Amino acid sequence: MQGKQEYRVQPSNSEDAPPERVEVLSDYDLLMPATYMPMALIFELSPDIDRMKVVEQLKAGLAVTLSQYPVMAGSLKKSSKDGGRLCVSIKKNSTHSFWAVWDENKNLPSFEEMNKRDFPASLLETEKITTGDFLAKQLFSPLGDERDDEVPVATTQATFIDGGLIVALAAHHMITDGPGLNGFLLQWSENSKALAEGTPLPTFDLKNLDRSPLCANSIPDAARMEELNHKVKAFYHKTDPTPPLPPDFKMPEMTPTEFHFSKRGLEQLKADAQPTEGNSWVSTYDCIMAAVWRAVTRSRLPMHNPDLNLHSTLLHAVNNRMRADPPLPPRFLGCAVSLARPEGFSIGELVDMKNLPLIASGIRQSILAVTPETVQETAEWVAGTKDKNTIDIKLNAHMGLDFAGTSWQPVTVYQDLDFGFGLPKALRSPKPNWDGYIFVLPRRVKDDPEEGIETCICLEKSCMERLFKDEELSKYAKPRGL
């Protein structure tokens, strides 16, 4: 078979479902931008594999998984009350759009070509491995519409390439974060494999659906909201509309690039970034974020020529699953992240060559500052916001001097995700045309003793060219896939 085919996959228990049910989103869900978050998994397939059998296997497992995570077959809509709060409508006939695509025109490189280049995200163009307008709005980009009413929660596309398969799942970011998408994918793979092998389906924890630990216990009064406005650092109430773009505006070219920190490079980085005073400890993640934030800021200086006494903000995701009260299960589907923010660094301090340990320590302190108390305070702030549509992230990353990032290191697809035709060879975010962002990726399994940690850095083209030449970053990491 060739071409493309859409399948509308219903939850396997849809016959017993009510005409409609509504899933209310948590306070934390409402903090996320109205964009879609895609994950792409790349598998190697044997030449003689029955591809239609693979499609049927994926569909069968997906139907069961949708019965367990019904929101993934629903659509977002705005409530008529509570400040336009978003919720998910799940109807008896709700479906999940699953596309199977056979790349007969070779629009995508072969598995072998991608493997030789370490699967650069730049080769995974979103319009080729996803279907529909799900990714029309890119994170932090001024282009595109943030549609948030009557839009599908998620979509999936399975694209067969020469020698392999790309499974791309895109879910609305107000429905889930990266670890939540990981949990859904793992459950889907286990269901698919069990059905294919005729073994019992894996168990499912209903607590994966309980969003209440990420909701406020009460709605604050005006005095309490004033107090919370000073405590919540990463978000604010946007009261003025975004000014229109000039008629002649042209989006600068973005060049997302993988940087690999080898084992030897990581050892050197941790040694160089270790705080020299006190008993402070910094993680490998802290060191990577510090080195990249510093290098990215240096690469942007010629473009902006800023006052070095001004500040650059870093916002990075911290998983709240073990910080919530009660703690959330590993496969909880929802947004359970805080955005941590190191405090008090001017641009001059940030780029100073001697300050790598200081910046790494600041990042560690920002993570330690996220506690069960601050998780509840942020939820309370959202609950006290009358118009939820005014909530926005306090960041100027796109063509600015701020920086943001997330870690997918808790994602366990390389160890655990098997639909029945083997583990994935690579996990990527399809070509993220963003500026000022980093993904810290899980360790990929390779026959190389120096294989360390991959990152994907998203940056404007001229800044990326300067980043390639950054003296400090080059000691620890090298670009891949060029």
Which domains are delineated in the chain? Answer: 4-214 (3.30.559.10), 223-410+431-479 (3.30.559.10)
Rounded mean pLDDT, 169-198: 97
| Alpha-carbon separation of residue 28 from 8, 377, 391, 406, 414 (angstroms) | 30, 11, 11, 16, 28
Taking Cα atoms as reference points, which of 474, 476, 429 lies closest to residue 456? Answer: 429
Residue 1 has pLDDT above 60, yes or no: no
Rounded mean pLDDT, 380-389: 93
Residue 17 has pLDDT above 90, yes or no: no
Rounded mean pLDDT, 168-182: 95
Taking Cα atoms as reference points, which of 191, 140, 149 lies closest to residue 397? Answer: 140
Q: How much of the chain, in percent, has pLDDT values that exceed 90?
A: 79
Residue 347 has pLDDT above 80, yes or no: yes
Cis-peptide, bond into residue 326, ω within 30° of zero: yes
- Which residue type occupies 133? D
DSSP letters spanning 245-313? PPTT--PPPB--EEEEE-HHHHHHHHHHHS-SSTT----HHHHHHHHHHHHHHHHHHHHH---TTSB--
SS3 content of the chain, % helix, strand, coil (to 5): 35, 20, 45
| Alpha-carbon separation of residue 449 from 112, 415, 440, 452, 476 (angstroms) | 21, 18, 20, 8, 16
Q: Average the pLDDT over each of 80-94, 197-211, 428-442 and give the range with the smallest value.
A: 80-94
The pLDDT assigned to 144 comes to 46
3-state secondary structure of 360: helix
The pLDDT assigned to 143 comes to 44
The pLDDT assigned to 132 comes to 60
Residue 455 has pLDDT above 80, yes or no: yes
Number of Cβ within 10 Å of residue 302's Cβ equals 10
Rounded mean pLDDT, 409-426: 96
Token pair recorded at residue 234: 């990463």
Q: Are 127 and 29 in contact (CB under 8 A)?
A: no
Buried b (16+ CB within 10 A) or exposed e, 59-86: bbbbbbbbbbbbbbbbbbebeeeeeebb
Residue 460 has pLDDT above 90, yes or no: yes
The pLDDT assigned to 312 comes to 95
pLDDT bucket at 139, cuts 50 / 70 / 90? very low
| pLDDT tens per residue across span 206-234 | 999 999 999 999 999 999 999 999 999 99
- β-pairing, 164-172 vs 154-161, is antiparallel
The pLDDT assigned to 83 comes to 62
pLDDT bucket at 134, cuts 50 / 70 / 90? low
Residue 351 has pLDDT above 70, yes or no: yes
Residue 324 has pLDDT above 80, yes or no: yes
The pLDDT assigned to 96 comes to 96
Residue 109 has pLDDT above 90, yes or no: yes
3-state secondary structure of 230: helix
Q: Are 33 and 177 in contact (CB under 8 A)?
A: no
- Name residue 452's beta-bridge partners: none
Q: Are 430 and 38 in contact (CB under 8 A)?
A: yes
Mean of all residue pLDDT scores within the chain: 92
Q: Are 215 and 383 in contact (CB under 8 A)?
A: yes
Taking Cα atoms as reference points, which of 32, 11, 12, 38 lies closest to residue 129? Answer: 38
pLDDT bucket at 137, cuts 50 / 70 / 90? very low
Residue 136 has pLDDT above 90, yes or no: no
pLDDT bucket at 80, cuts 50 / 70 / 90? low
The pLDDT assigned to 278 comes to 66
Q: Are 285 and 407 in contact (CB under 8 A)?
A: yes
Q: How many Å is the Cα radius of gyration of the chain?
A: 22
Residue 371 has pLDDT above 90, yes or no: yes
* Pairwise pLDDT comparison (108 vs 141), residue with the higher score: 108
Rounded mean pLDDT, 88-107: 90
The pLDDT assigned to 20 comes to 93
The pLDDT assigned to 104 comes to 72
Q: What is the DSSP letter of 222?
A: H
* Pairwise pLDDT comparison (130 vs 379), residue with the higher score: 379
Number of Cβ within 10 Å of residue 57's Cβ equals 18
pLDDT bucket at 82, cuts 50 / 70 / 90? low
- CA 212-217-220 angle, to 5 degrees, is 135
Residue 199 has pLDDT above 60, yes or no: yes
Q: Average the pLDDT over each of 32-46, 127-141, 250-264, 366-380 and give the range with the smallest value.
A: 127-141
pLDDT bucket at 447, cuts 50 / 70 / 90? confident
| pLDDT tens per residue across span 243-262 | 777 787 788 899 999 999 99
* Length, in residues, of the chain: 482
Write out the E strands in 69-185.
75-78, 86-91, 96-102, 151-152, 154-161, 164-172
* Pairwise pLDDT comparison (118 vs 79), residue with the higher score: 118
pLDDT bucket at 138, cuts 50 / 70 / 90? very low
- Name residue 77's beta-bridge partners: 87
| Alpha-carbon separation of residue 247 from 244, 250, 251, 399, 440 (angstroms) | 9, 9, 12, 18, 36
